[in-house]
């Protein structure tokens, strides 16, 4: 069940006098936090809400970057490819995360939905104008980009220096902490992505991911539950295993 009815929201946003943002339950998590009602109305005027099925490409590496997006529900993956098809997933985005920052007017990665996803779409030009008008939002976006940068550095440590088991434990921990930060329960963890996606995120193969889950399961550290959920037996144990200590 999505946090609010996007179908209705879309209809509303077509009527420019309404402003769905005011009622948006995920606003506090994201770039629109701390905007005044009139500012929110201005924002609502330029955005369009979208509902996208799973496994759909939002945009591809190299595409002209003509919009920013904000995830309001679901999960999106970002990835880069090498010429021979090797893939690196650089992030899984969930409720409250934004995507679409670009460097040379074009996207540096492909964005694809993992689950059914709802998003707010902000046309770049209009968004830039608005950012100039609302320094508060600019600041917020900068702060969120800083957080992403820190997360990227954590991921570099993981990719460059951690073992398969440490990678998997770090991954579960990240999902758990992220869920907690969004007000969901942190255990069991909902893992909507495939083994292949996890592998491409952690710099492993699907086989190694599968084997490592089996090991953790056998050792009693975790157990798989219905509906792609993973129960962490002892959070501290997983935490220690995530850093090799």
Residue among 80 and 211 whose Cβ is closer to DNA: 211
Q: Judged by CB under 7 A, does residue 12 bind DNA?
A: no
Query: Can you tell me which of 207, 234, 240, 243 binds DNA, judged by CB under 7 A?
Result: 207
What whole-number distance in Å separates Cα of residue 57 and Cα of residue 243? 34
Encoded one letter per residue, x for contact with its own copies by CB under 8 A and - for no contact, window 61-90 reads: -----------------x-x-xxx-xxx-x
Angle at Cα 75 formed by Cα 121 and Cα 123, nearest 5°?
10
- Shorter beta-carbon distance to its own copies: residue 4 or 239: 239
CB of 119 to its own copies, least distance (A): 19
The CA-to-CA distance between both ends of the chain, in Å, stands at 39
Pick from 16, 54, 146, 219 the residue near its own copies by CB under 8 A.
146
**Cα of 35 vs its chain's centroid, Å:** 22
Rounded to 10 deg, the angle between the 164-181 and 206-218 helix axes is 80
User: What is the rounded CA–CA span in Å between residue 191 and residue 114?
Assistant: 11
Instruction: Decide if residue 208 touches DNA (CB under 7 A).
Output: yes
| Binding residues with DNA: total (CB under 7 A) | 18
Q: Does 60 bind its own copies (CB under 8 A)?
A: no
Radius of gyration of the CA atoms of the chain, in A = 19
Q: Which two tokens stand for residue 190?
A: 């909902």
Contact status, residue 76 vs residue 28, Cβ threshold 8 Å: no
213 sits near DNA (criterion: CB under 7 A): yes
Which member of 2, 205, 233, 239 binds DNA (CB under 7 A)? 205
Tell me which residues in 86-115 interact with its own copies (CB under 8 A). Answer: 86-88, 90, 101-103, 108-109
Minimum CB distance to DNA smaller for 51 or for 211: 211
Q: How far apart are CA 93 and CA 99, in angstroms?
A: 8
> Are the C-beta atoms of residues 2 and 120 closer than 8 Å to each other?
no
Residues making contact with DNA (CB under 7 A) = 163-165, 194-196, 203-211, 213-214, 224
């Amino acid at each position: 069940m999505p946090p609010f009815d996007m179908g209705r929201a879309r209809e509303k946003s077509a009527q420019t006098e309404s402003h769905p943002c005011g009622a948006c339950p995920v606003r506090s998590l994201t770039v629109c936090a701390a905007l005044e009602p009139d500012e929110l109305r201005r924002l609502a005027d330029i955005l369009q809400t979208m509902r996208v099925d799973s496994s759909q490409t939002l945009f591809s590496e190299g595409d002209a970057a003509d919009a920013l997006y904000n995830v309001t529900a679901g999960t999106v993956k970002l990835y880069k490819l090498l010429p021979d098809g090797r893939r690196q997933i650089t992030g899984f985005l969930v409720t409250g995360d934004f995507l679409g920052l670009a460097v040379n007017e074009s996207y540096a990665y492909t964005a694809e939905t993992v689950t059914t996803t709802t998003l707010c779409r902000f046309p770049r030009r209009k968004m830039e104008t608005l950012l100039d008008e609302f320094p508060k939002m600019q600041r917020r976006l900068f702060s969120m980009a800083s957080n992403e940068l820190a997360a990227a550095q954590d991921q570099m440590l993981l990719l460059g220096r951690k073992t398969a088991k440490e990678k998997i434990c770090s991954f579960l921990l990240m999902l758990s902490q992220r869920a907690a930060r969004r007000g969901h329960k942190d255990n069991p963890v909902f893992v909507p992505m495939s083994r292949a996606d996890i592998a491409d995120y952690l710099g492993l193969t699907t086989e190694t991911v599968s084997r490592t889950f089996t090991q953790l399961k056998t050792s009693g550290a975790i157990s798989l539950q219905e509906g792609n959920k993973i129960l962490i037996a002892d959070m501290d144990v997983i935490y220690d295993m995530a850093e090799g200590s």
